[in-house]
Structure 1
Amino acid sequence: MINLSSLDYTIIILFFTIVLAIGIYVSKKSGKNSEEFFLSGRNMPWWLLGLSMVATTFSTDTPNLVTDIVRKNGVSGNWVWWAFLITGLLTVFVYAKLWRKSNVNTDIEFYELRYGGKPAKFLRKLRAVYLGVIFNIMAMAAVTLAAIKIGQIMLGLEPWQTIVYAGVITVIFSAIGGFKGVVYTDFLLFFVAMIGAIGAAWYLVSLPEIGGLKNLVTHENVINKLSILPDFSNTEAVITLLVIPFAVQWWSAWYPGAEPGGGGYIAQRMLAAKNENHAIGATFFFNIMHYALRPWPWILVALASLVLYPDLASIKEAFPNVADNKLGHDLAYSAMLTKLPSGLLGIVLASLVAAYMSTISTHLNWGASYIVNDFYKQQINPNASEKKLVLVGRVSTVVLMLFSALFALLLTNALQLFEVILMFGAGTGLIFILRWFWWRINAWSEIAAMFSSGIISILLNFTSFGEVLFNSETGVFPSWFKFPFIVLITTLVWVITTFLTSPEKDKVLYNFYKKIQPGGKGWKHITNKAQNENINLINSNEKWSVPNGILAMLLGTVFIYSCMFATGYWIYGKYTLALIITTIAIVFAYLLIRVWKKISTTIL
């Protein structure tokens, strides 16, 4: 436990005051109607939305998760989420403009644009509850768990105290400020969070016990954790960290913030953009920051923690008041922050509060948008006034916060929940990619994928059946095959279901094509059919941008990974290698800009 100085308290109180002031300032306009409350009138610029995406995904559990990964599996262990860059860039260069064209209020409203009849209505209602309530509460609980651990180690707070102190202000400004309040505060939260993370890494690596970067990267506890790529002599590590993420995970798994084909709060920000170009710019900026630059301050603190707290026993010895069911490697990040001096400590605590508030406020507004637009308005009160919808949104915000806080008290560590959520979304991602470009997919395809993925994940993760199949020593299959197995079975189920059920009605498919103009051979059957009926679906003034979009995705992937590797090698002091990779990044940036101009031409 640490003692905060007057300066630290001043910084934190000033921060809270500014955030609340922003929420109050925008509350009147945000409460005007539901579109303002959830999308801020669809007039947001790319840079503000991009900063909001970065701030939202910089939650209190993210440094803890990265620390957990680095301490257990080294820097290369981060490929379990770094691989999602491909998903992110596919969203940037292919799906961002499609979402903006759809003009829906939520990504779940898309279901009644793409599909028709009772199955579409059922799917929309089901996803609203499944994502907006269940998954949303799980994600917020992971963030709150991280806040609880920080509160325990740094301030000696009981879990309920952390929840009350951190949650009350967050839920107040989220409920009154709506989406505009979330995005405006994200602008402030981004800079506070980044200054705190970089400042903490700089100071902690400079501690006498660490001795600076040079000593850190040569320390015996750290040297075998530094590699950005896994040990290629370790077959299981290569399969788990590279082969599965790049061959299967990026396109097959649904995860909040990295949904194949876009979705969730990323889609919410794309839908709020001024136009398609602003949607693309926002998501690209987010991916650069999220993958290439932002993780390194956390990684440095995680590596430094191995010097001061090499194992769980040393953490327990230093912080004996931490509950046994909350003891984990992710605690090392909070443990390191207790070494910070007055002033910087206040900034870092404010940055952690900023990270918490940014993520939770986004999830609250996003989840409430599903409850209001896709459940309450559709199933309970279709004739509700705009004032009533905003009120329901505000009440939903408070209820979601309450349930996520209660669930957080039952969790142990962030990595545990990350893996469970990843498994539950396994196999569904391919549908989210293909449903825009293949006419034959219908509502039953998605329903089958949801249920099969969930049921199989429960069987393999929470029953003895999973132990029988995937025990590393006695199982039928190696343990690393669990995720591909879920993907394989789920994919087979939804593909078979697709061909056993009737396609969507022609009218639904025609209307979708006219509005979105997806193009490609996957819609050839429908465009030919419409042509035979003398119905024109194709806008001849618009070129098909998907081939250039995929090329831009590949170039962007190399560019951002090059930036990520170069940043790491500059930090490690491997200057020759860093210079070579930086040059590669510059070359691919130039190529990407050329292709990007072609994409922009096709969507203006």
Structure 2
Amino acid sequence: MRAPRPPRGLRRRGRRGHRPEPGADRPLRREPRPNPPDVLAGSAGLTAIDWVVVAAYALLVTGIGLAFKKRASAGVDDYFLSGRQLPWWLAGTSLVATAFASDTPLFVTGLVREHGIAGNWHWWFMALASVASLFVFARLWRRARVVTDVELIELRYGAGAGAALRGVKAVFLGVVFNVYALGAWPVLGLSKVLEEVTSLSKVAAVLSCSGLALAYCLTSGLWGVVVTDLVQLALALVGAIVLAALAVDAAGGLDAVASLPQAANLLPEHTPQDLWHSPWLFFLSLMLIQWWARGFEGDGVAVQRLSACKNERHAFYAMIWFNVLHYAVRAWPWILVALASLIVLPSVTDAAGGIDHERAYPRMILALAPAGVAGLMIASFFAAFMSTVDTHLNWGASYVVNDVYKRFVKPDAPQGHYVLVARVTTVLLMAGGVVIALGASSIVDAFYDVLLLFSGVGLVGVARWLWWRVNAWTEITAMVASGALTLLAPTIAGALGAPADARPAHLLVVLVGSTVAWLAATLLTRPADDATLIAFYRRVRPPGPGWARVRRLASDVVVDDRLRHSFVGWIGGVAAILGATLAIGLALLGRAGDAALAAATAAAGVGVVRVTMRRMRWPDEAPPGGPEG
């Protein structure tokens, strides 16, 4: 059977099977369209047709939001969890759309232009944690039947310290971190795009895109969020693929792109340079330490989607669907655009004359997209932006309402009152995100700041599920130690003989220091009382030897989930996801032999996952003594 022909813009140039060596003269190619300096500097570049396309998109998503307004007003469960009736494909797609923010193509472009394709391991490494979350925790979260992940804290540790920790983490994650994440990534990302393709200033760009998202989010609960996420992801992917085709065509075809030094290696090179600044050491720190240090139980957004699924099976399949789309599918159009931009736009600077690789992506839109298509691209950025912002606003409001206001302030108010509080909270969260966006400048730097902070607390989130001895003071100690060590990491690293700016050294400082602190706190303080532990065990049925003592106290509860099955499934899942990711990229770059090997690895991984799934117990086979999913 003949393989389908690639789109016109992605066909190879030159002789069949020929690919120039890096640095060799490139074959003749069509020169890219000239880019007027005023357009690339940020003056107005969109036509009336483009703005019509953008306006049509805005009306579409606003209409969808209004369609779900009545359902969202029914109560807290409907506003935040869609009545726990989400099918797996919609929940998984919504997770992908949330991760596909307006900043993400800019983030990937900056990585590729600065570090080559291998720079994507700065986020590809998270597949190890994501697949572990799938096999160990996806079904446990659905069994817990919580609205937010911090609600689990009180369920796990009981009242008193557990309730206090629940409130503190709700404020930190729902307000402090959420506002930072809103402003430093999606709002900043879209404002950069609007600055490049319109005459708007940064302030006007931030206010305009935030106002549109806020108007839509106020009307719609989670049902509206996930349905619009489906539309927005489709539009964002189409826009990325169209731009990739145009970019590769302008750069001279896939052979010209593949000949770039930045496309030569999919793994970092081991270069003879200072050890602490070696890309290879940084890669090893990500693959061997960082993926588990940051935790793999699942973040609050994932927990919200898993809790909203129909049952455990739907929650499990939602995570499979997310991993496939998130890692294997969505990134390669951005990578191709980033590589092509090195040919079309070798140097990219901001208004002050400084190098800003992230701006290459929106400038490629102006340089290459014809009228109408440019509007589609900008609409796709709005789609990516809104699919992330609506989730962060709904998710952040769920913390404030469910874990602070309803728990500590007004526990017996009517459901409509809580929905009103959620909408007021949404406005305040968006305002905070705007303030952060106006002060932030680099998406990549913000990413590393958060990565380091959570490397000290992630392991505690895993331990709470697998070891009965972990208590509220364990988490409190980890939070305090991680925050303090993140601030002191450069100083401590320097005192230990490492360069003050060496990121692997910072990681080790935060990880080792916080782990020692929370382990000591665990052993020096009392665990939760037996009644709380038994209630949690009956409800969630956590696997593994860490619950042996509690298992003896609740011997009527049968737990058939074995950690060794989860481990085997994790190995197969990682092979499947990363194998598929590399196979697609290698095929696009013309490396057929390597692509076939990666595809075979992915196929073997899929086989292991299928065998593991057949050994798993599902809700309709729930053991006696425990609730069904």
Distance 2:456 2:88 in 1: 31
Is it true that 1:597 corresponds to 2:614 in the alignment?
yes
Partner of 2:546: 522
Q: How far has the Cα of 1:489 moved from its partner?
A: 0.3
Is it true that 1:459 corresponds to 2:488 in the alignment?
yes
Q: Contact 1:428 / 1:453 at 8 angstroms: preserved in 2? A: yes
Distance 1:561 1:465 in 2: 35
Distance 1:383 1:495 in 2: 38
CA RMSD of aligned residues (A): 1.8
The alignment of Structure 1 onto Structure 2 pairs a total of residues equal to 574
1:252 to 293, 314, 318: 293
Q: Which residue identity lines up with residue 261 of structure 2 in the other structure? A: I
Question: What stretches of structure 2 of length at least 5 have no aligned partner?
Answer: 1-42, 622-629
Q: Contact 1:514 / 1:538 at 8 angstroms: preserved in 2? A: no
Question: What stretches of structure 1 of length at least 5 have no aligned partner?
Answer: 254-258, 531-535
Distance 1:143 1:538 in 2: 49
Partner of 1:565: 582
Distance 1:96 1:226 in 2: 37
Secondary structure class of the residue paired with 2:107? helix
- Higher mean Cα deviation, 120-129 or 3-12? 3-12
| Cα deviation 1:500-553 (Å, max 9, x = unaligned) | 11111111101111111113211112223x2xxxxx34423x512432122111
Q: How far has the Cα of 1:366 moved from its partner?
A: 0.3
Q: How far has the Cα of 1:9 moved from its partner?
A: 1.9
Q: Contact 2:232 / 2:387 at 8 angstroms: preserved in 1? A: yes
Is it true that 1:489 corresponds to 2:506 in the alignment?
no
2:600 to 579, 583, 602: 583
| Cα deviation 1:329-350 (Å, max 9, x = unaligned) | 2111122121211122111111
Distance 2:424 2:414 in 1: 15
Distance 1:537 1:189 in 2: 48
Instruction: Name the % identity.
Output: 34
Partner of 2:20: none
Partner of 1:199: 242
Distance 1:467 1:64 in 2: 32
| Cα deviation 1:140-183 (Å, max 9, x = unaligned) | 11211111111111112111221222112211221110111110
Q: How far has the Cα of 1:2 moved from its partner?
A: 4.4
1:383 to 373, 394, 412: 412
1:550 to 552, 555, 567: 567
- Higher mean Cα deviation, 352-361 or 3-12? 3-12
Distance 2:127 2:69 in 1: 35
Partner of 1:341: 370
Q: Which residue identity lines up with residue 337 of structure 1 in the other structure? A: I
- Higher mean Cα deviation, 586-595 or 63-72? 586-595
1:299 to 335, 338, 342: 335
Distance 1:3-1:249 versus aligned 2 partners, 3 A rule: same
Distance 1:212 1:110 in 2: 52
Is it true that 1:96 corresponds to 2:138 in the alignment?
yes
Distance 2:249 2:468 in 1: 58
Secondary structure class of the residue paired with 2:74? coil
Distance 1:481-1:225 versus aligned 2 partners, 3 A rule: farther
2:216 to 173, 178, 183: 173
| Cα deviation 1:81-129 (Å, max 9, x = unaligned) | 1111111011111101000000011111000110023211111111111
1:108 to 134, 146, 150: 150
- Higher mean Cα deviation, 358-367 or 61-70? 61-70
Q: Which residue identity lines up with residue 539 of structure 1 in the other structure? A: V
Distance 1:426 1:587 in 2: 31
Q: Which residue identity lines up with residue 231 of structure 1 in the other structure? A: E
Secondary structure class of the residue paired with 2:218? helix
Is it true that 1:330 corresponds to 2:362 in the alignment?
no
Q: How far has the Cα of 1:79 moved from its partner?
A: 1.2
Distance 2:127 2:620 in 1: 23
Distance 1:392 1:364 in 2: 13
Partner of 2:34: none
Partner of 1:256: none
Q: Contact 1:48 / 1:183 at 8 angstroms: preserved in 2? A: yes
Distance 1:368 1:266 in 2: 15
Q: Contact 2:292 / 2:459 at 8 angstroms: preserved in 1? A: yes
Q: Which residue identity lines up with residue 388 of structure 2 in the other structure? A: T
Distance 1:579-1:25 versus aligned 2 partners, 3 A rule: same
Partner of 1:164: 207
Q: How far has the Cα of 1:378 moved from its partner?
A: 1.5
Q: Contact 2:313 / 2:618 at 8 angstroms: preserved in 1? A: no
Q: Which residue identity lines up with residue 348 of structure 2 in the other structure? A: I
Distance 1:4 1:447 in 2: 51
Partner of 1:449: 478
Is it true that 1:182 corresponds to 2:206 in the alignment?
no
Distance 2:388 2:264 in 1: 29
2:557 to 531, 539, 555: 539
- Higher mean Cα deviation, 332-341 or 234-243? 234-243
Q: Which residue identity lines up with residue 513 of structure 2 in the other structure? A: I
| Cα deviation 1:231-274 (Å, max 9, x = unaligned) | 13455535444211122101111xxxxx5211210110000000
Distance 1:572 1:237 in 2: 26
Secondary structure class of the residue paired with 1:435? helix
Q: Which residue identity lines up with residue 64 of structure 2 in the other structure? A: I
1:270 to 306, 313, 317: 306
Distance 1:436-1:552 versus aligned 2 partners, 3 A rule: same
Partner of 2:169: 127
Partner of 1:3: 45
- Aligned pairs for 1:43-58 within 5 A: 43-58=85-100
Distance 1:576 1:217 in 2: 15
Q: Contact 1:445 / 1:494 at 8 angstroms: preserved in 2? A: yes
Partner of 2:465: 436
Partner of 1:398: 427
1:14 to 42, 53, 56: 56
Partner of 2:114: 72
| Cα deviation 1:28-86 (Å, max 9, x = unaligned) | 01111011000010000000111101111000111111111111211112212111111
